[in-house]
Amino acid sequence: MGPETQGFVSPPRHHYWKITLVALAVTCAVAGGLYYLARLYVINEAERNIEAVLLAHKGMHRYIQEVMHPAFYKLKAEGMVAEKFYAPEILSSSFIVRNQHKAYNEERKAAGLEEVYYKMAAFNPRNPVNKADAMEEKLIRMFNENKELKNYREIVRIDGKDYLYVALPFLVNKPKCLKCHGDREDAPLGLQLLYPGQGGFNEKVGDIRAIESIRAPMEQQYFVIYILFASSFAGLLVLAGLLFFNTRLRDMVRVRTQALAQEVVERRRAEEEVRRANEELEDRVEERTAQIAAANKELDSFAYSVSHDLRAPLRGIDGFSLALLEDYGERLDETAKDYISRVRAGCLRMGDLIDDMLQLSRLSRGEIHRQEVDLSAMASEIAGELQRGAPQRRVVFEITPGITVAGDVILLRAVLDNLLGNAWKFTAKTEGARITFGRQEEGGKEVLFVRDNGAGFDMAYANKLFGAFQRLHSTQEFEGTGIGLATVQRIIHRHGGSIRAEGAVGRGATFYFSV
Amino acid sequence: MRTNMILLVEDNPDDEALTLRALKKNNILNEVIVARDGAEALDFLFGTGSYTGRDLGIMPEVILLDINLPKINGLEVLGKIRATERTRLLPVVILTTSNEEQDKLKSYTLGANSFIRKPVDFQQFSEAIRQLGVYWLLLNQAPPLVKG
């Protein structure tokens, strides 16, 4: 067996882990990309939150300084407010904003949102809650050292949660700021009374006094990332599944295709074998045909030499017996003459046997030339010949007209010659002899028959009727060689038909045959 | 020259004797030349072999030709007779034991004038010889001789 015909083709498994790797890599890349985008989005969201808060604060500061304070100072100038009056709830914008933010956070909380940390961080605040922590101090210094810097941004992690932290420089001290933040002695008395320490004083113009330190939660925004992650992962899973399924399908198709190809190869081989077997058969048939042809040829020459070489001596025996009788008859007694006539009778019978045998062999050979033959007409013709041969006999012929078959006209003539001749012969001693040629249905098939009411035969010997040289009557009773029915049967068989006989002693015989 | 001679080509001595007897019994007293095989028959007809120098002006009135002959068979002899100018018109009667269709067909194809099957029954044989004699030697007008 060649390599293309090995059994099953196992699907290559290495494909699957390759696919898995590729799917994983793609998943990671996409997930990374998505994460990055989502994070950008979340940070952006947080920044915007912070910006919104800061803008609100800025607006608040402006309102305090541009609307509220001028109105207050006007009242004070008009003497409506005591000169030493000071209340941070009205005069400290950072106090107001801080408490406003506190209230804002409380509202956020009530709305289910996380708080936004906010602190006005300073080195030296009046209120200790505004005292900068270590990091804020560092940032204040940084902003002071580099005035160009407008903000600082960082993502910080507190208690496992991410926050966006932003620091902005608050105000650069202006001269009017020093009214309350300059030397303690220059500050309003109310202020001095309220804040006994140095907190919030001794600021210098141009310095950044504080930073806004703000921290917005990002955790809730991560929700978006989770959703994105989940959906992209699900999508990728589907894709990977499809890829896997596709590969499996392709493998299956490949395996099936290979199996089919193998089958095709096997079919071809089988066809080739059949073809070879056919060729061999044809060769053998040719060989056999040649052998048969040779055998036939041999048979022909055998029959030929039989016809010549067996008959010639017979003619000698007969001729010289007769010569003996004619030339020396007067010297022979009656017994001797009887013997000589017996010798001659034997010769003639032998001659007839040889002739019949030759006819049988000749009819068995040669090709059958089929044509439409009118058997009824042929039977009538034979009946006429028989009648002319023995005009003294009274025989009634009943011949059904229009019986035609496809067959060899010469061979079928021999069949009817024999069957009608037999009927004629075996009715020789019958009163009211009647010979019928007709047809009948048997199992849906047409069967022809020749019937007579003559000597008949014993059904016990029915199977012997068709054997060559088989006779059921002595030659004294009915002459004949016993070749006729053998010839008939052989011709019928050569036409693909069958023949059988029915009869009873003294009650005639019927020969049924089909062609 | 016409001599009413018969050429009998027959290899079987029994058949030869019976044929001669039948001729005699039927009072056919013409000269009978017997050739025992095809070669001898051709030697006689063409004046060759043992017949060298024979007067070829003398030709048989009829040739009785058997088919099954040693050396050269009857059909070949017939073929040569018909192929030769001097002998091509001679009446040839095939007288044979054969009853084969093929032999009849070949004989007539080669130009036999008649085909007679020898019966086993001598009386029938004798009758056949008698009729042959009457027909070919008395009734039939032989073709003119062809000068060689």
Report chain A (515 residues): mean pLDDT per 10 consecutive residues.
46 65 80 80 84 87 89 88 83 86 92 87 84 88 87 85 86 79 80 79 83 82 73 80 85 92 94 93 90 79 73 88 90 91 89 80 76 94 92 92 92 92 90 92 90 88 76 69 82 89 90 91
Give dist(CA A305, CA A313) in Å, integer. 12
Q: In this structure, what token pair is assigned to residue B92?
A: 């040839």
| Token pair 């001797």: residue | A336
pLDDT at A33: 84
- B window 84-113, beta carbon within 8 A of A: 96-101
Cβ–Cβ under 8 Å, residues A423 and A452: yes
pTM: 0.48
pLDDT at A382: 94
B18, B68, B122, B127: best mutation site toward chain A, by most A Cβ within 10 Å? Answer: B122
B26 touches chain A (CB under 8 A): no
CA of residue A374 relative to chain centroid, distance: 60
Q: Which residues of A touch B123 (CB under 8 A)?
A: 322
Q: Which residues of B touch A304 (CB under 8 A)?
A: 98, 100
Half-sphere exposure of B95 (CA within 13 A, CB side): 25
Q: In this structure, what token pair is assigned to residue B72?
A: 């050269």
Contact B15 A316 (CB under 8 A): yes
Q: In this structure, what token pair is assigned to residue A449?
A: 């028959």
Among A304, A319, A350, beta carbon nearest to B125: A319
Domain A367-513 CATH assignment equals 3.30.565.10: yes
Residues in chain A: 515
Cβ–Cβ under 8 Å, residues A365 and A404: no
CA of residue A53 relative to chain centroid, distance: 69
pLDDT at A14: 56
> In whole angstroms, how far apart are CA A222 and each of A226, A271, A389, A445, B78?
6, 71, 130, 97, 127
pLDDT at A7: 46
Contact A311 B21 (CB under 8 A): no
Q: What b-and-e string marks burial along A435-470, b requiring 16 or more CB atoms within 10 Å of the CB?
A: bbbbbeeeeeeebbbbbbbbbbbeeeeeeebbebee
As a whole number of angstroms, the longest Cα–Cα distance in chain A is 210
Å between B135 CA and nearest CA of chain A: 23
Å between A347 CA and nearest CA of chain B: 7
Cβ–Cβ under 8 Å, residues A144 and A207: yes
Q: Which residue of A has its CA nearest to B97?
A: A308
CA of residue A498 relative to chain centroid, distance: 52
pLDDT at B95: 92
Q: Which residues of A touch B125 (CB under 8 A)?
A: 315, 319
Give dist(CA A186, CA A184) in Å, integer. 5
Q: At what angle are helices A311-328 and A334-364 packed, to 10 degrees?
A: 160
pLDDT at A221: 63
The arrangement of strands across the sheet holding A445-452 comes to A395-399, A433-442, A445-452, A509-513, A499-503
Among A304, A308, A314, beta carbon nearest to B120: A314
B71 touches chain A (CB under 8 A): no
Give dist(CA B39, CA B70) in Å, integer. 8
CATH placement of domain B6-138: 3.40.50.2300
Q: In this structure, what token pair is assigned to residue A67?
A: 């609307």
> Domain boundaries in chain A?
14-217, 367-513
Sign of the alpha-carbon dihedral angle for A399, A402, A403, A408: positive
Among B15, B21, B99, beta carbon nearest to A312: B15
pLDDT digit string, tens, across residues B8-62:
999 888 889 999 999 998 988 899 999 999 999 999 999 999 999 888 888 999 9
Among B18, B97, B98, beta carbon nearest to A319: B18
Among B17, B97, B120, beta carbon nearest to A308: B97
Among A312, A322, A362, beta carbon nearest to B123: A322
Which chain A residues touch B if contact means CB-CB below 8 Å? 304, 307-308, 311-316, 318-323, 344, 347-348, 350-351, 355, 358, 362
Q: Which residues of A touch B96 (CB under 8 A)?
A: 308
Give dist(CA A327, CA A316) in Å, integer. 16
pLDDT at A385: 92
Q: What b-and-e string marks burial along A250-269, b requiring 16 or more CB atoms within 10 Å of the CB?
A: ebeeeeeeeeeebeeeeeee
pLDDT at A1: 41
pLDDT at A54: 85
Pinpoint the alpha helices (H) of A78-92. 88-91
